[in-house]
Amino acid sequence: MNTRAAGALAGPTPWGAEALWLQLEALLPGLSIEVLPRVASTNTLLLERARAGDVQPCLLVAEEQTQGRGRMGREWRSRAGASLTFSLALPLAVADWSGLSLAVGLALADALDPLPADPAEGAPRIGLKWPNDLWLLDGPLAAGGGRKLGGILIETVGAGASAGPGSPRLAVVGVGLNLLPQPEEGLSQGCACLQELDAQASAPQVLAGVAAPLLRALLRFQAAGFAPLAAAYARRDVLRGRPVSTTQAGLPEGRAEGVDAQGALLVRHGGLHRVVSGEVSVRPRAAVEAG
């Protein structure tokens, strides 16, 4: 175990971090784990370290996050015990980063809500809203009802001397999952929590269940990209078949028709348009009108 991990795990911990480290280090040698009682933002701290030259893989967990960030600069705070907030930083050499947030969301959803191989044998309780949200479904996926359960923020920074497509970059994958009921200000679709699925859910328990599947998914994405995951994503896609509004120029609204092999959202408005992560904000049109 390296120095950082040893320091972070000194003394008794409710997180079971040493057992988790043994599991993850087998997948990614050199990985360290830190559990901090309070931090402004796990993503920000890991990015600051990377820019200072520390690009070693690290799982950084915050019991409380005071300046957490979501997509497009939205605030994501967390209270100790009420949320699980962590960031996983690791170097990845990826030819095409498209669809990474979808792959991360799918890994988390599958770990929290395993589905049978045959879709006819069970419906998902956790859905995925393109490009980076997890929803707890209040009924069948086709019914369209759901509330936000968690979110993902992925940022990257150079991790080597070389540059260009396929060059290694340090990917910092930030995850926030609600454990207990949260304030719903600014969330037109409402807010859900994991204790609605499991009344005994705790941050250490959930971390132990999602960390290894997430790491394995990132390593698979490095090797094969998003295309092999498109069919699995479709089983949890909460936008597919629903009216949506977008901020993409020339595409104010349309009907979502799933995602393509690169993870772009397909929206039909006249013709079929590709919507790419980072360019637009997409939400169910009914929620926009209600807001």
**Residues 16 and 68 reside in one and the same domain:** yes
**Residues 75 and 141 reside in one and the same domain:** yes
**Residues 77 and 24 reside in one and the same domain:** yes
Catalytic residue flag (residue 4)? no
How far is the C-alpha of 140 from the C-alpha of 124, rounded, in Å?
Answer: 8
Instruction: Spell out the residues 6+ positions from residue 173 whose beta carbon is closer than 8 angstroms to its own.
Output: 87, 88, 89, 104, 152, 153, 154, 214, 218
**Residues 230 and 264 reside in one and the same domain:** no
Crossing angle for the helix pair 100-112 and 203-224, to the nearest 10 degrees: 140
**Residues 271 and 226 reside in one and the same domain:** no
**Residues 34 and 157 reside in one and the same domain:** yes
> Which of 202, 234, 266 lies at the terminal end of a domain, its last residue?
234
Q: Inform me whether the pLDDT recorded for 126 exceeds 90.
A: yes
Confidence class of residue 233 from pLDDT cuts 50, 70 and 90? very high
Please state the domain count of the chain.
2
Active-site pick, 79, 216, 242, 283: 283
**Residues 223 and 260 reside in one and the same domain:** no
Active-site pick, 49, 69, 125, 148: 148
> Which of 210, 234, 258 lies at the terminal end of a domain, its last residue?
234
Instruction: Give tens-digit pLDDT for 51-73.
Output: 999 999 999 999 999 876 655 45
Three-state SS at 6:
helix
Nearest of 257, 248, 252 to residue 277 by alpha carbon:
248
Residue range of the domain that includes 24 = 3-234
How far is the C-alpha of 153 from the C-alpha of 173, rounded, in Å?
Answer: 6
**Residues 268 and 185 reside in one and the same domain:** no
Catalytic residue flag (residue 283)? yes
**Residues 35 and 105 reside in one and the same domain:** yes
The CATH number of the domain holding residue 265 is 2.30.30
**Residues 258 and 140 reside in one and the same domain:** no
Instruction: Give tens-digit pLDDT for 161-190.
Output: 555 666 789 999 999 999 998 876 655 668
Active-site pick, 49, 69, 71, 147: 71
Looking only at the bridges linking them, the beta strands covering 265-269 and 253-259 are antiparallel
**Residues 226 and 249 reside in one and the same domain:** no
- The mean-pLDDT minimum among 2-16, 113-127, 231-245 falls in 2-16
Instruction: Spell out the residues 6+ positions from residue 232 whose beta carbon is closer than 8 angstroms to its own.
Output: 106, 110
Instruction: Give tens-digit pLDDT for 246-291.
Output: 888 888 889 999 999 999 999 999 999 999 865 565 666 555 444 4
pTM of this structure:
0.89
The CATH number of the domain holding residue 124 is 3.30.930.10
Handedness of CA 128, 133, 134, 138 (dihedral sign): negative
**Residues 216 and 115 reside in one and the same domain:** yes
Catalytic residue flag (residue 285)? no
